[in-house]
């Protein structure tokens, strides 16, 4: 079954090796990570690789950082986001109002405006500010998941890890998401190391190991042939 799925290649060769060649097209993935683990970098690279290598337009919905800050962040790497934005290959939109209906409308309108096939929503933990009760949150988050499925856009929503425990996105990870990717930034003796693990990916045979992750001017590199603690 997994071999028959059409996949959205992330463009990160090591990561694609860990998930059967890419994220199944139209699926929703939650990416949870510690501060400094590389979530924003990986998400921007997911959009950049899509636009430059696979001719797939992408949208970044920021619930926290403004557009200028994200563009400035992208200049730390060998990525020309300004050109891609000018060509309408990528759109970065900052949503400041905590109105969930307006957020949904913004997502739909922005994705439609450039026929995007890739979508990033960052950070998902801000969803907590949109709702007064957990019951309301769960209903609306389920609605978001259904809307994204209907749009057939491959989506990554980021989440926070704190003390190796994820802050719940009201069941999004357990019941709505097709995949969950975990990023860690761990102190190991006298240094910090980054790693990545695949908790689940629907329709895909996944690695059950943690693998080292490196960040350089070229972006994120997943060392899929290595295990995090194999030399320790």
Q: Average pLDDT, stretch 82-101?
A: 93
Q: What percent of the chain has pLDDT over 90?
A: 63
Encode pLDDT of 128-164 as tens digits.
Answer: 889 888 889 889 999 999 999 999 999 999 998 764 4
With bands split at pLDDT 50, 70 and 90, how would you rate the model's confidence at 114?
A: very high
Q: Confirm whether 229 is domain-assigned.
A: no
Averaged pLDDT for residues 88-96: 95
The whole-number pLDDT of residue 40 equals 92
Residue 31 lies in a domain: yes
Residue 232 within any structural domain of the chain: no
| Residue 231 falls inside a structural domain | no
Residue 231 binned pLDDT confidence (cut-offs 50, 70, 90)? very low
Q: Domain limits at 39?
A: 2-222
Pairing of strands 179-188, 191-201: antiparallel
Structurally, how many domains does the chain consist of? 1
pLDDT of residue 1: 45
pLDDT value of position 128: 84
Is 101 inside a domain boundary? Answer: yes
What span, in angstroms and rounded, lies between the C-alpha atoms of 50 and 58? 7
**Greater confidence, 77 or 36?**
77
55 or 189: whose pLDDT is higher?
55
φ/ψ of 131, rounded to 5, equals -130, 150
Q: Does residue 107 register a pLDDT over 50?
A: yes
What pLDDT was estimated at residue 210?
92
Answer whether residue 94 is part of any domain. Answer: yes
Whether residue 228 is contained in a domain is answered as no
pLDDT for 176 equals 86
Q: What is the band of 13 on the pLDDT scale with cuts at 50, 70, 90?
A: confident
C-beta separation of 202 from 52 below 8 A: no
| 232: pLDDT strictly greater than 50 | no
DSSP labels, 11-77: S-HHHHHHTTTSEETT-EEEEEE-TTSSHHHHHHHHHHHHHHHS---EEEEESSS-HHHHHHHHTTT
Tell me what the mean pLDDT of segment 203-217 comes to. Answer: 91
Query: Whole-angstrom Cα distance, residue 110 to residue 34?
Result: 29
Q: Is the pLDDT of residue 187 over 60?
A: yes
pLDDT of 49 > 70? The answer is yes
Could you tell me the CATH number of the domain that includes residue 88?
A: 3.40.50.300
Answer yes or no: are the C-beta atoms of 111 and 151 closer than 8 Å: yes
């Amino acid at each position: 079954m997994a071999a028959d799925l059409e996949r959205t290649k992330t463009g990160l060769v090591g990561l694609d090796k860990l998930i059967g060649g890419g994220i199944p097209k139209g699926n929703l993935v939650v990416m949870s990570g510690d501060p400094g683990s590389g979530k924003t970098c990986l998400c921007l690279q997911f959009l950049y690789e899509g636009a430059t290598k696979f001719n797939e337009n992408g949208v970044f919905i920021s619930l926290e950082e403004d557009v200028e800050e994200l563009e400035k962040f992208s200049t730390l790497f060998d990525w020309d986001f300004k050109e891609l934005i000018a060509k309408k290959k990528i759109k970065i939109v900052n949503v400041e109002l905590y109105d969930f209906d307006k957020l949904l409308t913004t997502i739909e309108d922005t994705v439609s405006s450039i026929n995007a096939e890739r979508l990033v929503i960052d950070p998902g933990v801000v969803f907590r500010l949109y709702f007064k009760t957990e019951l309301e949150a769960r209903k609306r988050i389920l609605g978001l998941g259904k809307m994204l499925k209907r749009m057939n856009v491959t989506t990554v929503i980021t989440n926070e890890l704190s003390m190796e425990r994820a802050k719940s996105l009201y069941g999004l990870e357990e019941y709505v998401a097709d995949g969950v990717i975990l990023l860690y930034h761990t102190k190991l003796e006298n240094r910090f190391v980054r790693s990545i693990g695949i908790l689940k990916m629907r329709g895909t045979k996944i690695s059950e190991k943690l693998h080292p992750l490196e960040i350089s001017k070229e972006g994120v590199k997943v060392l899929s042939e290595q295990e995090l603690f194999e030399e320790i």
